[in-house]
Amino acid sequence: MDQFSKTVIVELVMQPPRVIPVTDFLNLTLSYNTGVSFGLFADWFRDAPGYLNAITSGIVLGLVFWASMATKRSEASALGLIAGGALGNILDRLQRSAVTDFIDLHIGEWHWPAFNLADVAISVGAVLLIGMSFRRGANR
């Protein structure tokens, strides 16, 4: 879904690039992120996206290994969301040398950094893992 949505946005919806208001708090707007989350370290990786892909690929392999060792389906699913989202962004960097972001949430003039469906999967997976860790702590 992530790769499909990015292709539709880049090739169809955002031709020409523009801001498309969807609701009072949501716009579609095309941007490219050469860094990690929220554009952090973009200057470091702009000229060498391969390094970021190598680091992220190592993390994805670690997450997949962790998921394969998980004893609960919910933990494996959360790890799969994180790994899948990271893989979607790796594929984007390989295709476009940057991650395509297009979801723009805002309140008035304040805008959250643009993101994509891979970022949603990563965030949901992380929230699920954190939530499960609190439940595990309460069960001890």
Q: Which residues belong to the active site?
A: 101, 119
Is 61 in contact with 115 (CB distance < 8 Å)?
Answer: no
- Tell me how far apart the alpha carbons of residues 84 and 78 are, in angstroms, rounded to a whole number: 10
Report how far apart, in Å, the C-alpha atoms of 38 and of each of 33, 73, 100 are. Answer: 8, 30, 12
- Tell me how far apart the alpha carbons of residues 52 and 39 are, in angstroms, rounded to a whole number: 12
In the sheet where 19-21 sits, what is the strand order? 19-21, 26-33, 99-107, 110-111
- Tell me how far apart the alpha carbons of residues 39 and 31 are, in angstroms, rounded to a whole number: 11
